Structure 1
Amino acid sequence: MNLSSLLPAIEPLDLRSCLVSYNGKLIIEHYRNHRTREEIAKVNSCTKSVVSALICIAMDKQLLPEASTAAALYFPQLAEDPDPRKKAITLEHLLTMSAGFNWTEFGGQNSFPRMTQTPNWIQFALEQPLSDEPGSRLEYNSGLSQMLSAILVQASGMTTAAFAERYLFQPLGISQYEWEHDPQGIHTGGFGLRLLPADMLKLGQLYLQQGEWNGRQLISQDLVQRSVYPAIAAESPRRGRYGWHWWVDSFTAASDSASPSAFDFYYALGFGGQTITVVPSLNIVAVVTNDRLKRGKPPADVFRQHIAPLLVQQ
């Protein structure tokens, strides 16, 4: 593993930040300038992975029941819906984006923008018809993430941000953040969190350490492992599989030996190229933030294109 050539390779990408830690020590630290080091910025859908961590903490504290519990426990209208399949939607279906709702996040139905223009996001998400049997197919849906945030509020009696402060942010030493909320005051489950890149790295390190931080078990090992288990396959153009609001994938590169070099990894992914990537077998955590998209071009997959190939070099 030799990351010495990483910084020259990513310089033309004009990233906001790129951080890599190995065995808990920062070995790559790149910022565009001092401002990007010191100012919080949108992590977009990486927010989903933070909400996943909070749901796991609530389960550990027995504020939330087993993931197989029907979501109708928190949203009775699911049990009252004319479509009886909605009764079968579970907390795990919400976490794995497999609840079955007829939803197109962007493009097509533009379900996400439509939701955010309504006076009640949760009601909008719940009222969407089903197009698939619950549990049968991954359909990316930020409405489900908003439902999880609302469930956390019901279960804990606290706002999502207050719960995060007490049980996740303060133990990790995260003091700078902002978090948007919906018209009902429920903090956004699928986006809207602003963090420092260094604090994003802490979340990845927490998961690499199986939920342990400074001698405290913030999340049980069982739920860390369950949340990043590759539960359901993604459909093209997305790759890999999906866990509990974490993406799961693998990297394989040709090598000089008879067999290729490969490793599994999981990651939080936010629009525009915001990522927190964890490689357990190599004790690596990598964070990338980006805020300068080129029109008509997707952001570079910095981890797969630039970091991963260096990790398998001898």
Structure 2
Amino acid sequence: MRAIALLGAMMLISLSSEALAETPSRQALHALDEQAGALSRLHTVLVAVNGEIVHEIHQGGPGVAVPANVKSLSKTVLAAITGAALEAGVVETLDQPLVELLGSRVPEGVDPQVEDITLEHLLAMQSGLERTSGAHYSAWVASPDWVAYALSQPFVDEPGGRMLYSTGSSHLLSAALTEASGESTHALAQRLLAVPLDIAIPSWPRDPQGIYFGGNDMQLSPRALVDIGELYRHDGVVNGERILPEGYVEDSWTPRGRSPWTGDGYGLGWFVTTLAGVPAYYGRGYGGQALYVIPERAMTVVITSDPNPPSPGGQFQQQLNRLVANVLMHSGQGNTPK
């Protein structure tokens, strides 16, 4: 895999990337193989150190180089698309009110508080609107207009308040990007993310109005997800070109709220946690899809799993966290990869 170039020192890291790059030991990778093998739902695990993939596991699913449904990990990818749109001038600022961008897509009679929702609120899951995920999901995706339905939900908090994990918020963001650019979210993803990273982002489902699903059902290969993780690890720069605005990664990894299920912080499309005593940032999706970036170890880890129901839920996600934590615990310089 091509290495992604780093311009300047990586923010959040005080030491050089070379000093921090710790290749997992043979023993750690052998243990990872065994632990992954015990999880029948798990499809792939990729470990990259300093931009180079040092270990791949493929025990099910399409494979490490073939696009697969990453479910709600799409929200992290959408955050990258939004950052790229900001850098390209498609949107002016994350403080922009949502209604300015949606225009006539805002239905009549919605709560006036909708005018206070910004793009940042959507990225951080702080719209204040009742969630359209969980028990509310089926009714939302069965509605004739997903944007109108999401905006018509009652407010259960103020915009900018507590984290309310909702795919409806991500879909409103996709609609806003579409209206702001005059392009589809898929076209933006191709132009602003896929081309500079040299990855494939195939088309994915759309709502009844043709808006690409914001926050679910995107198709990316595990190797493409490594490249997205590396883009963030390098502060939004790839091959000398700035793709994400300066400071966007730091903002993305700064918690605005906390998950009520795990207690992990949530920034702009990324969860914030600590694994094996090391700060880690991750996106996740239904059924066991995950992208981890651990800057202090110059490491990116991708995991994909069977996306079909039923999901094993939070317990499985904790098992994936332990897989990554175990790799971090048994990493050290001078080890030769398997």
When normalised by structure 2's length, the TM-score is 0.83
2:271 to 247, 252, 269: 247
Q: CA deviation at 1:197?
A: 1.0
Instruction: Determine the structure 1 residue equivalent to 2:113.
Output: 85
**Partners of 2:60 and 2:284 in 1: CA distance:** 23
The amino acid of 1:45's aligned partner reads S
- Residues 48 and 189 in structure 1, CA contact (< 8 A), matched pair in contact too: yes
Equivalenced residue count is 301
Gaps of 5+ in 2: 1-23, 333-338
- Residues 266 and 279 in structure 1, CA contact (< 8 A), matched pair in contact too: yes
Is the aligned partner of 1:288 residue 2:303?
yes
The amino acid of 1:311's aligned partner reads L
**Partners of 2:280 and 2:122 in 1: CA distance:** 22
**For residues 150 and 309 of structure 1, do their structure 2 counterparts lie closer, same or farther at Cα, with a shift above 3 Å needed?**
same
**What SS does the corresponding residue of 1:19 show, helix, strand or coil?**
strand
- Residues 72 and 79 in structure 1, CA contact (< 8 A), matched pair in contact too: no
**Partners of 1:240 and 1:292 in 2: CA distance:** 23
Q: CA deviation at 1:32?
A: 1.4
**What SS does the corresponding residue of 1:152 show, helix, strand or coil?**
helix
Instruction: Determine the structure 1 residue equivalent to 2:67.
Output: 40
With a CA cutoff of 8 Å and minimum separation of 6, indicate the structure with the bigger relative contact order. Answer: 2
Is the aligned partner of 1:105 residue 2:120?
no
Instruction: Determine the structure 2 residue equivalent to 1:277.
Output: 292
**Partners of 1:127 and 1:33 in 2: CA distance:** 41
Q: How high is the sequence identity, in percent, across the aligned residues?
A: 31
**What SS does the corresponding residue of 1:145 show, helix, strand or coil?**
helix
Instruction: Determine the structure 1 residue equivalent to 2:50.
Output: 23
**For residues 296 and 177 of structure 1, do their structure 2 counterparts lie closer, same or farther at Cα, with a shift above 3 Å needed?**
closer
Is the aligned partner of 1:10 residue 2:25?
no
Q: CA deviation at 1:307?
A: 2.0
**What SS does the corresponding residue of 1:59 show, helix, strand or coil?**
helix
Q: CA deviation at 1:232?
A: 1.4
Instruction: Determine the structure 1 residue equivalent to 2:214.
Output: 189
- Residues 79 and 87 in structure 1, CA contact (< 8 A), matched pair in contact too: no
2:324 to 292, 298, 307: 307
The amino acid of 2:274's aligned partner reads S
Q: CA deviation at 1:296?
A: 7.3
Instruction: Determine the structure 2 residue equivalent to 1:135.
Output: 160
**Partners of 1:57 and 1:140 in 2: CA distance:** 23
Q: CA deviation at 1:270?
A: 0.6
**Partners of 1:139 and 1:33 in 2: CA distance:** 33
**What SS does the corresponding residue of 2:125 show, helix, strand or coil?**
coil
**Partners of 1:30 and 1:74 in 2: CA distance:** 43
The amino acid of 1:291's aligned partner reads D
**For residues 42 and 83 of structure 1, do their structure 2 counterparts lie closer, same or farther at Cα, with a shift above 3 Å needed?**
same
The amino acid of 1:13's aligned partner reads L
- Residues 78 and 86 in structure 1, CA contact (< 8 A), matched pair in contact too: no
When normalised by structure 1's length, the TM-score is 0.89
2:204 to 154, 175, 179: 179
**What SS does the corresponding residue of 1:69 show, helix, strand or coil?**
coil
Q: CA deviation at 1:164?
A: 0.8
**What SS does the corresponding residue of 2:64 show, helix, strand or coil?**
helix
Gaps of 5+ in 1: 253-261
Cα RMSD of the aligned pairs, angstroms, is 2.2
Instruction: Determine the structure 2 residue equivalent to 1:96.
Output: 124
Instruction: Determine the structure 1 residue equivalent to 2:96.
Output: 69
**For residues 54 and 104 of structure 1, do their structure 2 counterparts lie closer, same or farther at Cα, with a shift above 3 Å needed?**
closer
- Residues 178 and 195 in structure 1, CA contact (< 8 A), matched pair in contact too: no
- Residues 286 and 311 in structure 2, CA contact (< 8 A), matched pair in contact too: no
- Residues 43 and 61 in structure 2, CA contact (< 8 A), matched pair in contact too: no
